[in-house]
Amino acid sequence: MSGTMNTFTMLDIGKTSIIEKPIPTPGANEALVKTTASLICTSDVHTVKGALPVENGRTLGHESVGVIAALGSAVTGFTEGQRVAVNAVTPCFECSYCQRGFTSQCGGMLGGYKYTAQVDGNMAEYFLVPAARANLAPIPDDLADEAAVYACDMLSTGIMGAEHAQISIGDTVVVFAQGAVGLCATIGAKLLGAGRIIAVESIPERIELSKRYGADDIVDFTKGDPVEQIMDLTGGIGADGAIEALGFPQTFEAALACLKAGGTLSNIGYHGENPAPLQLDLPAFGLGMGDKTIRTGLCPGGSDRMRRLFTLMSTGKVDPTPMTTHRFAFADVERAFEMMSNKEDHIVKPLITY
Amino acid sequence: MSGTMNTFTMLDIGKTSIIEKPIPTPGANEALVKTTASLICTSDVHTVKGALPVENGRTLGHESVGVIAALGSAVTGFTEGQRVAVNAVTPCFECSYCQRGFTSQCGGMLGGYKYTAQVDGNMAEYFLVPAARANLAPIPDDLADEAAVYACDMLSTGIMGAEHAQISIGDTVVVFAQGAVGLCATIGAKLLGAGRIIAVESIPERIELSKRYGADDIVDFTKGDPVEQIMDLTGGIGADGAIEALGFPQTFEAALACLKAGGTLSNIGYHGENPAPLQLDLPAFGLGMGDKTIRTGLCPGGSDRMRRLFTLMSTGKVDPTPMTTHRFAFADVERAFEMMSNKEDHIVKPLITY
Amino acid sequence: MSGTMNTFTMLDIGKTSIIEKPIPTPGANEALVKTTASLICTSDVHTVKGALPVENGRTLGHESVGVIAALGSAVTGFTEGQRVAVNAVTPCFECSYCQRGFTSQCGGMLGGYKYTAQVDGNMAEYFLVPAARANLAPIPDDLADEAAVYACDMLSTGIMGAEHAQISIGDTVVVFAQGAVGLCATIGAKLLGAGRIIAVESIPERIELSKRYGADDIVDFTKGDPVEQIMDLTGGIGADGAIEALGFPQTFEAALACLKAGGTLSNIGYHGENPAPLQLDLPAFGLGMGDKTIRTGLCPGGSDRMRRLFTLMSTGKVDPTPMTTHRFAFADVERAFEMMSNKEDHIVKPLITY
Amino acid sequence: MSGTMNTFTMLDIGKTSIIEKPIPTPGANEALVKTTASLICTSDVHTVKGALPVENGRTLGHESVGVIAALGSAVTGFTEGQRVAVNAVTPCFECSYCQRGFTSQCGGMLGGYKYTAQVDGNMAEYFLVPAARANLAPIPDDLADEAAVYACDMLSTGIMGAEHAQISIGDTVVVFAQGAVGLCATIGAKLLGAGRIIAVESIPERIELSKRYGADDIVDFTKGDPVEQIMDLTGGIGADGAIEALGFPQTFEAALACLKAGGTLSNIGYHGENPAPLQLDLPAFGLGMGDKTIRTGLCPGGSDRMRRLFTLMSTGKVDPTPMTTHRFAFADVERAFEMMSNKEDHIVKPLITY
């Protein structure tokens, strides 16, 4: 494989363009994938706004699927032409953090998040996959690319949000914000046996998706304090679990406050845009003794998790495709990115095809 | 409250009758419940066959709901006339076993199972509830008795079967036998995020219910070795979890054999009818080193779990009522019991009303 | 049992005295204990300073052992004259919170903490025990009162701190502050398999006890920033777990900052004295995505845990008595309390005998 | 690196010899280690007896440490000459099993156990290390080879036995057999907070080591039924956890029988010598409903676990070296192996130096 390819690249803060780059050559443990579909993530928007410092000239994107174009010399068990998905997080699976199960903290804090943050991302006609034996996830024949691509980040992250909420069968769980990752947290809460799911959202299109994915009650924060509304809905008792899927100080604080003693706050929102520390209100925190737990995490990587997410889609238990509100050819990716940045036309997720 | 009541009582091995007994008076921490609905359990059938030694003259039954008729002097937080369900297992919640969370082992092995085994059961016009503050579970207004009564044993036990199977999101889980408790294990496996549920069953009516409750594949053991069929369905790899819901040596052994290394066998079948030890085939057991886990349990008790099961029904996530294949007035309970003993007319669960 | 008894009572904020009160009579599920030994807790000091609002005239104390003087009519399994300890937290073991295992949140936030906070405490010649069957913990014959009394709060709370830190075998754990509860957290970290224990403390007597109980390294925060010192000790990587045993904003923040990605902060310090919210520094918190966990809790109650703590003492694995730096007769409890309030003479724990 | 090396090799069932073989060359992800110390394992004895089918000509051994002699082209983060230990289990860390944490089941049942079983073992002057970045564990400067080598199998396996026993603080744990791995299970039970450790053993030298490592009570099975003795010691209640460290049907059955309801049997014994299935006695098993758990496992691999075991040794919390009862130069390895096979002179572990 040689020649050049088009990539969707960040030139500077606030500035992106389709740029030609050489097609990379895989190292011994790497693979090269020819991209067939991508999703644009709000994280990319954060990055281009400057919230995450990256070198100029870095290709964007971390939610892509495709077919294997070339395999490194030490990569066994795969064949060229095979359809594969690659998680947004691509751990080495060998370091101390990975061995302990913290694959998204590969090598250190947030280190598993390599695309865009550390190396070129995968909104490009081709992309490299490190630790390919662990990170290439074959897509089942019965699963379309446009569904499989949701496993790369949205489903993996959102469902992790529910996993971290330590839900017991029949529990009451609140999900703050119903963007794509919040909707996937709702999917996850239902998948893990929540009895009652309360979604906090105000945009009608997202409320509709939220109900479709399992929300039993909607709290519209534009119509009154969400914590009070949640307390009213739960007879003054509060929730067993709360998932923060927005990344705002107010929602984080509300997520803590709406929990009963013994409850768990699972944070999946990215709090990098606002430099001020998050606050733990002491009464809400039980003065540090209320048996409340706060868990955090970043999209878990690896092919085994992808495989299991694919099973949930193949057997019809999860269908993420209604979240795809818009579709674009790769040539129009700049327009898609602009819509995502401005949250135009009630966009949830734009699908890019190649 | 005084006078007499009708009870469905075991007179001797193989012999039952409706018998009049005095209405009991609750002690300080007890409650008296006037029964409105019961389900007959296969465990009662085992008991009458002599598999579990009980005194002659013991009232049968452990799956009943009703309204509070009287409260002991130390029971606060409830009112007479309140609709309540009571779990088949009625722990003290005070002993060492209960404090460690093993409520069905209250006071020692299987000690939480008091109705019929230790004291009169609750297929009677009235019944006593020990440790009433912990064991009385108020039924929500929007939930019918005929649904709520499934929380007493079937849903609590079946879902425990799935909880013990240690399911990760998207896992493959096999459920052996689709009687009522096996169907509830299927409900539980789906509720806890299984990706693919394989149910082992041969009776068409049960297969139909199984698919309705979430089974993706059916293995009919009359058409070939079930382990081989499961291996074929999983590409020779095996399952992540297996739930034994029958209580036969062959199904227990098959449940171990169909697991991949690292898998979990969750036993909920009652193995008391056959005195021979269960066998662990060494290759299937990984010579004792295959990271396989075997977990066992008995219906977990207590009002909090009941409350959470009610939530799952109230929000429409679980509907057990299609398992009610037959209905009887209490006056006809003997006929119902006879049908259950002989598994007539493809009976799954007979509902008794008062 | 009738007549009067001496009690150590809070008359008003900042004011305590030995006061005569009637000896109480146990209700059906209660017991009356004749006190033989108590420990004074820093929480009592907080209470008298006004940090926890309680009615004037409330007896202080929640760490006491004694002999059963009288049993309520429904309390079985115990005999008068039996030596018993009673945990600082006395849950009902029946409510929804208790049934879920959050016994210290009995009935709602911090509700298991009844002595002094809700009813008279047990620094008195006699005291009542609610839910006596669950809360009376017989003291083994081979265990002295002055050792057993440490199970009431210090060992139960400190070891909970270590349990919540989710220690894997060989992990590095930091314990912030080595007062009595922090020393017990050190004991707990060693008991649970920590490989390296770093204690943050500056008082020589406490440092000595800390080393005796298992600390491998001491960080003296008066000699430089403790987070920097911990980073130096760990080669810049940080700790796997951190236990906050002081209740200061600075130590809480340092405990978060000294953790590596994936680490757990276990809070056992009482943060009620300072009304300002605690702060989560975003880089230390991994922007909400660093797989860090924050767990909180209050002394777990119940006789089973007490029994297990007694076993650790009976077999010589834990000896708390070196923490008893001072001894007083109950007649001198006011002097003992004054010393504790002012942290005079390097006091750690004063033992009161009756 | 080229030339030949001496290896301790199995020529046929029952027949071993020192054989010259070519020094192997590491592949891209491998390392070559020059051996400095090994321990002989009873598993090798099983293998030579024919219990585990291996090709004739296979080098024996899986507990070795040494210095890095050569690194594959893709192995970063290590240097030649570095002192390293390598676990008996050398997983790929990339397959589905490894990604789920079952590293000893790498690629399928028991597949992480590669040395001797699948490739040449490491009782040789040089040996290859697969997946070297994950499997090379640097030995701290302050730790001698003869201590570090215990992390390769004995400590990792024995402590896993305790981890799998699900010990709560203060629990009573029985360890069946006090050979080297059973002694390490005793070490593990103490490390994880067991309150009372009952060791089943009859050989005086092993009893002495057992007490040194934390056993509180010794049950000598030659002096009466061990289950009855354990019941007597626990007041008829039984143990919370039992670790089977021998691999005999009788000890497995006794381990199940000595547990109270809710207890956990952790199997680490190798049951490959006896082809008959293991038996689960129904009353001991609670008829399949006693909340008993059976867990199994094989030595967990990977450098992170090794690192943590080293920490426990470096800080003085674990000292395995008293288990080294005999020492041999590699030239005398055949004599050492003979002694181990015949359990001569109360041998526990023979150390081989190069």
What pLDDT does residue C139 have? 98
Q: Using an 8 Å CB-CB cutoff, list chain D residues near B281.
A: 277
Average pLDDT over residues D295-299: 98
What pLDDT does residue B221 have? 95
Pairwise CB contact (< 8 Å): C278 & A285? yes
Computed over every residue of chain D, the mean pLDDT equals 97
Phi-psi region of D149 (alpha: psi -120 to 50; beta: other; left: phi over 0): alpha
What pLDDT does residue B104 have? 97
Chain C residue with minimum CA distance to B100? C304
Q: Does C71 touch chain B (CB under 8 A)?
A: no
Q: Could you read off the pLDDT of B265-323 as tens digits, one per residue?
A: 999 999 988 889 999 999 999 999 999 999 999 999 999 999 999 999 999 999 999 99
Pairwise CB contact (< 8 Å): A279 & C281? no
Q: Could you read off the pLDDT of D42-100 as tens digits, one per residue?
A: 999 999 998 888 999 999 999 999 999 999 999 999 999 999 999 999 999 999 999 99
Which candidate in A169, A173, A211 is best for mutational testing of the B interface (most B CBs within 10 A)? Answer: A169
Q: Quick one: CATH architecture of D4-153+299-353?
A: Alpha-Beta Complex (3.90)
pLDDT at B1 over 70: no
- Distance from the Cα of D75 to chain A's closest Cα (Å) equals 11
Cα→Cα distances D58→B38, B73, D50, D61, Å: 66, 77, 13, 10
What pLDDT does residue D53 have? 84
> H or E stretch including C180?
helix C180-191
Q: Could you read off the pLDDT of C323-332 as tens digits, one per residue?
A: 999 999 999 9
Give residue C274's pLDDT band: very low, low, confident or very high (50, 70, 90). confident
Give residue C86's pLDDT band: very low, low, confident or very high (50, 70, 90). very high
Burial class (CB in 10 A: 0-12, 13-18, 19+), B22: exposed
Pairwise CB contact (< 8 Å): D170 & C195? no
What pLDDT does residue B95 have? 98
Average pLDDT over residues A69-86: 98
Q: Could you read off the pLDDT of B6-15 as tens digits, one per residue?
A: 999 999 999 9
Q: What string of DSSP letters covers C9-44? A: EEEETTEEEEEEEEPP---TT-EEEEEEEEE--HHH
Q: Does C101 touch chain B (CB under 8 A)?
A: yes
Pairwise CB contact (< 8 Å): C308 & D192? no
Q: Could you read off the pLDDT of B324-353 as tens digits, one per residue?
A: 999 999 999 999 999 999 999 999 999 999
Give residue D273's pLDDT band: very low, low, confident or very high (50, 70, 90). confident
The number of C-beta contacts closer than 8 angstroms across A and B is: 68
Q: Could you read off the pLDDT of C289-325 as tens digits, one per residue?
A: 999 999 999 999 999 999 999 999 999 999 999 999 9
Domain B159-296: give its CATH superfamily.
NAD(P)-binding Rossmann-like Domain (3.40.50.720)
What pLDDT does residue C120 have? 98
What pLDDT does residue A290 have? 98
Cα→Cα distances C314→A223, B150, C45, C303, Å: 60, 46, 31, 16
What pLDDT does residue B205 have? 95
List of chains touching B (3+ CB pairs within 8 A): A, C, D
Helices (H), chain A: 42-49, 96-99, 132-135, 145-148, 154-164, 180-191, 204-212, 226-233, 249-257, 303-314, 333-342
Rounded distance, CA C131 to CA A268, Å?
A: 41
Q: Using an 8 Å CB-CB cutoff, list chain A residues near B310.
A: 170
Q: How big is the CA angle at B24 (ends B18 and B25), to the nearest 5 degrees?
A: 165
What pLDDT does residue A272 have? 84
ipTM of the complex as predicted: 0.97
Chain B residue with minimum CA distance to C92? B94
Rounded distance, CA C178 to CA C174, Å?
A: 11
Q: Does D290 touch chain B (CB under 8 A)?
A: yes
What pLDDT does residue D64 have? 98
Chain D residue with minimum CA distance to C151? D170
* Cβ contact B339:B347 at 8 Å: yes
What pLDDT does residue B272 have? 84
pLDDT at B35 over 70: yes
Rounded distance, CA A261 to CA A247, Å?
A: 23
Percent share of chain D, pLDDT over 90:
97
Q: Does D131 touch chain A (CB under 8 A)?
A: yes
Cα→Cα distances A62→A59, A233, A317, B289, Å: 10, 38, 25, 39
Give residue A1's pLDDT band: very low, low, confident or very high (50, 70, 90). low
Nearest neighbour of D298 by CB, restricted to B281, B291, B298? B291
Rounded distance, CA C347 to CA B164, Å?
A: 48
Q: Quick one: CATH architecture of D158-296?
A: 3-Layer(aba) Sandwich (3.40)
Residue ranges with strand state E in B106-203: 126-129, 136-138, 172-176, 196-200
Q: Residue ranges per domain, chain C?
A: 4-153+299-353, 159-296
Average pLDDT over residues A43-60: 91
Computed over every residue of chain C, the mean pLDDT equals 97
Q: Does B4 touch chain C (CB under 8 A)?
A: no
Give residue D1's pLDDT band: very low, low, confident or very high (50, 70, 90). low
- According to DSSP, residue B131 is labeled S
Q: Using an 8 Å CB-CB cutoff, list chain D residues near B279.
A: 277-280
Q: Does A278 touch chain C (CB under 8 A)?
A: yes
What pLDDT does residue B82 have? 98
Pairwise CB contact (< 8 Å): D170 & C310? yes
Average pLDDT over residues A88-96: 98
Q: Using an 8 Å CB-CB cutoff, list chain B residues near A307.
A: 170
Q: Which residues fall within 8 angstroms of residue D346, CB to CB, at 6 or more apart?
A: D203, D205, D206, D325
Encoded tokens for A14: 């606030």
* Cβ contact C230:C198 at 8 Å: yes
Which candidate in A291, A295, A298, A299 is best for mutational testing of the C interface (most C CBs within 10 A)? Answer: A291
Q: Does A250 touch chain C (CB under 8 A)?
A: no
Q: Does B307 touch chain A (CB under 8 A)?
A: yes
Q: Using an 8 Å CB-CB cutoff, list chain C residues near A268.
A: 288-289
Which candidate in D93, D97, D103, D307 is best for mutational testing of the A interface (most A CBs within 10 A)? Answer: D93
- According to DSSP, residue B134 is labeled H
Average pLDDT over residues B172-178: 98
Burial class (CB in 10 A: 0-12, 13-18, 19+), A51: middle
Pairing type for strands A324-329 and A349-353 reads parallel
| Strand-pair partners of B279 | D279
Give residue D274's pLDDT band: very low, low, confident or very high (50, 70, 90). confident
Pairwise CB contact (< 8 Å): B110 & D290? yes
What pLDDT does residue C2 have? 75
Give residue B2's pLDDT band: very low, low, confident or very high (50, 70, 90). confident
Q: Could you read off the pLDDT of C147-182 as tens digits, one per residue?
A: 999 999 999 999 999 999 999 999 999 999 999 999
What pLDDT does residue C1 have? 62
Q: Which sign does the torsion angle of CA A25, A26, A28, A33 carry?
A: negative
List of chains touching C (3+ CB pairs within 8 A): A, B, D
Q: Could you read off the pLDDT of A5-31 as tens digits, one per residue?
A: 999 999 999 999 999 999 999 999 999
Encoded tokens for A251: 């929602």
Average pLDDT over residues A133-156: 98
